[in-house]
Amino acid sequence: MVVVYHLWPGTLTGGFVGVDVFFVISGYLMTAHLLGKQPRTGRDLLQFWGRRIRRLLPAAFVVLAATAVGSRLLAPPTQWEDTARQIIGSALYVQNWLLANSSVDYLAADNAPTPVQHFWSLSVEEQFYLGWPVLMLLVFAAARQRHLRPVVAVRWTVAAVVLVSLAFSMQATTAEPASAYFITPTRIWELAAGGFVATLAPLAATRLPQPATAALGWAGMAAIVVAGATYSTQTPFPGYAALLPVLGTMLVILAGSTRAYSPTGILRPRPIQWLGDASYSVYLWHWPLIVLLPMHLGGSGLPAQLAVLALTLALSAVTKTYVEDRFRRSLPSARLLPSYRFAAVGMAALAVFGSVQLAEVGVRHQVAANQLTAVTQSREPCLGAASAALGFGHCPQDPQAMLVPDPSLAKEDLPDAYRDGCWAANDFADRPVCRYGNGPVRIALVGNSHAGQWLPALQALAGQQGWTITTFLASRCNATDAPLELGSEAKTQNCLAYGDWVMEQTKGSQFDLVITSERQSVPVRGESWGTTQAPAVAGYESYIKQWAAAGTRVLAIKDPPYPGTKISNIPDCLAANPGNPSACSGTPSSWHWMDPLDDAVRNLSLHGISRVDLDKYFCVDGVCPAAIGSVVAYRDGSHITATYASSLVPYLEQPISKALAAPRPGVG
């Protein structure tokens, strides 16, 4: 299910629930093993973990090492840093926590998935394997002391773990769904659910008629299939939605295999059995190949997908025979030291490899930073936006020219607001305000990250003109009266409250001018992307009218064209196409996205409420280049680089000065 979902996500939109099936099976097998061979001492635990090392780590280390080399050879340099960090995290089995952290990091939203991202589920499993035997040892000890049947003590303990973790999973999925998908506490209940099944007698061993047992097995299979076919990335997950595949898997295991009617009949053919035997290696290999092989083949269509599938099966067969089975049998089970030494050496080697890669990235960044400083100080007349202003006929675009910032550095070419912590983020409860410049003219910068991207130009102008820029910036949250779909009702309401607070801080004569810009990165609550335009415009019209009624001058900067879903990350694209930046370019129509704030300003046509359109500095003669005048224009799929923003200073000065000189709304 997982492999099909990753190769052809449109055919099995909920195929990711295969991971949940995997968790239940793992919990069942592990708990059944511990019930059969109850740990009593610390050495028993060490022997248990030693078996897990021999079973799981050799194949994982081989795939991680091969992926590290393959990424260095095939992936663009812009992806080396993320991959190196996640290789270290995967080798140490904390990958799920790294992904949970980056999932709520707005700056990482457009980063390409790394070829080791799938190790998150293996990290959850390994953390379970580390803690579960300790819990079982304590339960068995308590059962002996209280003269309880061990299986009964385990059953009630596991049931409690299921209930507590499930409750936490439901709460976390509602509050912060992005990170909830990865973190261990939201997933432990699924593994524990398998453990609960291990404490029960199989239905086939009861007096239940075989047809009824088989029917329950088929019901479980149906639950898994329904979840895989009907769930999607829009399904809040894991939370209560994970109950369907989890309960389905529990039923299938409980039903067991009966001679007649059983759904296990479809799983008995040898190819299916082989796939089950090799499933661990299949899981390990498929994702690195999905990410890296198209880079070598030059595309990701059906031929590449079939090549990935064939190579996955071939490598899995080799790994199963020559790595999984050989290491499991060659390391002596009675001696603990060889297993733990192997684990320590393997983890250390991968951590060193990742650290060396990070060091190389650091050196490259320093060289690129020096190049950027030299170029920006050269006062080249056709650098950046100036080449668009003068025209490409006057300023020819050289595809072989050195790009600044270098694509690997462009991702980090951020406004100072990020460094200074000037963002309301996550739950929008914190409302930081930052000031740049110390002149008598007071300007407020209001909006989400597409307002913050103009800060480098405004800082330069503030120094030249004697302005003070005060920021009111939020990640993903727009200053509007329209409620936004932000993943939870709490976030939606907090964002509205943040917008109300910004209005109180900026309206009237508190500032000489409010500059605002927004990106519609999420729909209005209750709307789809196809229906969100009208209510989004209405929300901005209502908000702007409040500014106007209070006599506030406002200048809205139209959001320029950007690639968005057409090219998820411009620096990655440029790094993958050296000497051919046109491969990463678009057109005004293909890079167009809704801008309800700009629409609202044009609809209202109020005195003192003005707009500026800078599109001509991003698209020239029907083409929107990824690099303009040798400057990388975008640091991801939508935000402009700080370097390119700085090159727009001469073209923002006049519109801002004009807006400052305009009468306030309702005056004159």
The pLDDT tens digits for 522-537 are 999 999 999 999 999 9
Q: Is residue 645 included in any domain, yes or no?
A: no
- CATH number for 438: 3.40.50
Q: Give the chain's residues under pLDDT 70.
A: 104-111, 204, 258-260, 298-299, 330-334, 667-668
What pTM was estimated for this model as a whole? 0.88
pLDDT value of residue 330:
65
Q: Which two tokens stand for residue 251?
A: 């039923």
Q: Is residue 374 included in any domain, yes or no?
A: no
Q: Is residue 651 included in any domain, yes or no?
A: no
User: For residue 207, how many other CB atoms are within 10 A of its CB?
Assistant: 5
Phi, psi of 620 (to 5 degrees): -130, 130
Single-letter amino acid code for the residue at 631: V
Q: Is residue 307 included in any domain, yes or no?
A: yes
Q: Which of 357, 383, 400 is the last residue of a domain?
A: 357
Residues 268 and 144 grouped into a single domain = yes
Question: Is the alpha carbon torsion for 108, 114, 117, 119 positive or negative?
Answer: negative
pLDDT value of residue 622:
93
pLDDT value of residue 327:
84
Residue 78: which domain range? 2-357
Rounded to whole angstroms, how far apart are CA atoms 34 and 384? 65
Residues 113 and 190 grouped into a single domain = yes
Residues 232 and 334 grouped into a single domain = yes
Q: Is residue 36 included in any domain, yes or no?
A: yes
Q: Is residue 400 included in any domain, yes or no?
A: no
pLDDT value of residue 335:
76
Rounded to whole angstroms, how far apart are CA atoms 365 and 357? 12
Single-letter amino acid code for the residue at 532: T
427 CB burial (10 A radius; 0-12, 13-18, 19+): middle
Residues 353 and 441 grouped into a single domain = no
Residues 339 and 429 grouped into a single domain = no
Rounded to whole angstroms, how far apart are CA atoms 650 and 389? 10
Rounded to whole angstroms, how far apart are CA atoms 99 and 116? 11
Cis peptide before 238 (omega within 30 of 0): yes
Q: Is residue 328 included in any domain, yes or no?
A: yes
Residues 59 and 143 grouped into a single domain = yes
Single-letter amino acid code for the residue at 516: T
Question: By C-alpha distance, which of 668, 46, 38, 667 is closest to 340?
Answer: 46
Residues 347 and 425 grouped into a single domain = no
pLDDT value of residue 667:
58
Residues 295 and 175 grouped into a single domain = yes
Q: How many domains are there within the chain? A: 2
Q: Is residue 362 included in any domain, yes or no?
A: no
Residue bearing tokens 């297993």: 339
pLDDT value of residue 202:
83
Q: Which two tokens stand for residue 233?
A: 């990335």
Question: 3-state SS of 35-89?
Answer: HHCCCCCHHHHHHHHHHHHHHHHHHHHHHHHHHHHHHHHHCCHHHHHHHHHHHHH
Residues 316 and 456 grouped into a single domain = no
pLDDT value of residue 590:
94
Give the containing element (helix H, strand E) for 604. helix 596-604
Residues 349 and 420 grouped into a single domain = no
Residues 15 and 82 grouped into a single domain = yes
Residues 345 and 450 grouped into a single domain = no
